Every structure is written in structure tokens, then in C-alpha cells.
Structure 1
């Protein structure tokens, strides 16, 4: 009997088991997926020809499991999932190799971040209830209606929503108001002031 084929020499293949039960792999994949929220990083990948590697494209397809509810709760930058979906398209991967497209994508992302909160405030802030019309007939029931609870007041720290579309509120509402008497530190002329004092 041949020694190479004897049952004693054939050992069962050992199955690889992560020493930390996959925690390290989970963290690495989470970090990589969230890096995809940055158009400059996607441009870097395109410039260095990662998108020409079939194994890397297969890895991007594999990473789509992050869109499932049990994994999506760990995502801090939701734009990464949108870009992960776009990276499944070869045209988008090729387009991101050009600096102009990278800048356009980055600019669109910035405008979304800048205006998202203000656009959401239009739908979140409570509106005053419409006055009942006098032309409507009174209800036929004689039972007293329970009082309608008043809406809570809007906190004074919230950003006011303007009705004019040409003038949006400042994205930084906590700046120093003009004429408040608080001096702004100006570091340009401090050396000249020191020379005069001596």
C-alpha cells in the first residue's frame, strides 16, 4: 500500500476560526465601507486602478450586506451606502477617476449637508392649526368635545425658517451677533501693540 494514500497520513483539513469571533473583520469592513462616503477616497481608488481588479469589484458586491437592517445600525455616515450602490456601476467607477467628477460629487454632497437640516425643519416645526370656518354647520352631536391639547412652544434656540427661498438661515446660528459688544480677537496687530507699549 502506498504510504502517501494511507488513511493515517490523510488528515482532515482544519477549519479556520477567528480568534476574536470575527470582531476584527467586522471593524475593518465597517471602516472601509464608511470611507466610501468620501468622494476623494473613491477618486483615490479609481486613480490607483483598484476598480480594474475583478477581485476588488467582487469585494464591493460582497459589502452590500451592510444595507441590511441588522448591520445598517452601525453606519455613522449613510452616504457611504449610497456610494457603495453607485460603485456597482462600471460607468460611475470610470467617471470617478476624473478630478472634475470628484469635485462635482463633493460639491453636491456638501450642498445636501448644508440644506438638509433647513429643509427638514420645514416639515418638523409645528404649524398653527387652521381656524374653523364659520360657514361650516355645527356638529349634530350634543356631547361636549374634549379640548384639543396645545402644541408645545418652539425652543428659542432653534433656527427660524424663512418663507423666502432666496434667503436661507445661516448654517452656523451660534456666531457672535453684530453690535453685541463682544470683541473679536484680532491677532494681526498684536506685535505692533506690544512695540508701542514698551
Structure 2
């Protein structure tokens, strides 16, 4: 007797399973849903823990392209840790996860643009101005030494003048000098002879 042939898999069943698993794994992107699973003790079921390990195949490239909420893969990786599963049973842990997820969405675009957009080149710093060179004073031109020729003495011999007697002599001194042609004027002649005579009156 021939063994019975295995029935061919129904493509509709495979598609239905694909859609159900895709929907479930994307629900893990919501920290509130994870908190619901923890409070209802789903994480205490070993079969459910095994199912979470099975769903890691969605991290492969041929399946990840169907994921619309990539945070679900991040939380799926965290759910492999027992400490995270136990912590998500507390409302405070759920609020922390939800708040961190919000801040990620809020700053994701700006953080990503920092890595995508080219950074502008740094502005060149102005070079310090060189210190002005000290002004060089040109050397003074040498003053030519002028030699004053000695003055020739007149034909009439004058008395020699010493270096100390460089000042001019008074007419009285000059007139009384022997050898000069200038006669010595008598004060009586200058005064008209009035000094020693008395004019007779009437």
C-alpha cells in the first residue's frame, strides 16, 4: 500500500500566517502593548517566549522591507532579555520607554541630517597682522668742514691781538696806541676850550 501523499500547502494559509505575524510584531513597537502583555503574564509562558525568538526572522533583509514601524524590531530584541520583560510590568517603566521613544521621534530628523548633510568647511581664521618693521633712520650726511682762510693784515701794522683781546678796542685806546696815524683828541679841543678858560664878560 502506497503511503499517502502530503497535501500541498495552501498558499492562502501561508499568506494569512505572514500577515498575522507581521501585524503582531509591529504591535511590539508600542510600549503600552508590551506593558499589557507583561501584566497579563504572557512573558511567563515558555511557549510565548519561544515564539518571540522565532519572530527574529523578521530581522532578515527579505522580511524587514515589509516593516513599517522599525521600533518593533528594537523592542523585539529587548524582549529576549528576562530583566526587560519583568521591568515592563511596572507602569513607571512603560512611561520611561514611551518618553524615550517620543524624544527619539522628535529629534530623529535633526540627528540624521547631521550624518547625511556635508559639514560646511571651517571658516578660515584671519592671520595676525605682521608687526610693523621699526623705522630705520638714515644716517646723517657728513657736514663738510669749511676752512676759513686767514685774513691778511693791512699795510699799516696794527698791534697784535691776543686771543683774550678779541673784543674791539675803544677809540681812546686805539688812538693812544703808538704807530697809529689817528691823533689823540684832547678833551679840551672836543669841548671847545671851555674847560680851562673863563670868557670875559662884557
- The TM-score with structure 1 as length reference comes to 0.57
> C-alpha offsets along residues 117-174 of structure 1, whole Å, 9 cap, x if unaligned?
1122223334333578999xxxxxxxxxxxxxxxxxxxxxxxxxxxxxxxxxxxxxxx
3-state secondary structure, aligned to 2:50: helix
Whole-Å Cα distance in 1 between the matches of residues 87 and 126 of structure 2?
Answer: 61
* 1:103 match: 95
1:48-197, aligned counterparts within 5 Å? Answer: 48-130=40-122
* Structure with larger Rg: 2
**CA deviation after TM superposition for structure 1 residue 39, in Å:** 0.4
* 2:176 match: none
Task: Could you tell me which runs of 5 or more consecutive residues in structure 1 were left unpaired when the two chains were aligned.
Answer: 1-6, 136-198
**CA deviation after TM superposition for structure 1 residue 116, in Å:** 1.3
2:29 matched to 1:37? Answer: yes
Task: Could you tell me which runs of 5 or more consecutive residues in structure 2 were left unpaired when the two chains were aligned.
Answer: 128-202
Q: Which runs of 4+ in 1 moved over 6 A?
A: 131-135
- The TM-score with structure 2 as length reference comes to 0.56
Whole-Å Cα distance in 2 between the matches of residues 133 and 85 of structure 1?
Answer: 48
* 1:148 match: none
Relative to structure 1, is the Cα distance of residues 108 and 74 closer, same or farther in structure 2, using a 3 angstrom cutoff? same
3-state secondary structure, aligned to 2:119: coil
Whole-Å Cα distance in 1 between the matches of residues 67 and 47 of structure 2?
Answer: 24
* 1:46 match: 38
**Over aligned residues, Cα RMSD in angstroms?**
2.4
Relative to structure 1, is the Cα distance of residues 110 and 15 closer, same or farther in structure 2, using a 3 angstrom cutoff? same
**CA deviation after TM superposition for structure 1 residue 13, in Å:** 6.5
3-state secondary structure, aligned to 1:127: coil
* 2:132 match: none
* 2:147 match: none
Count residues in correspondence. 127
* 2:144 match: none
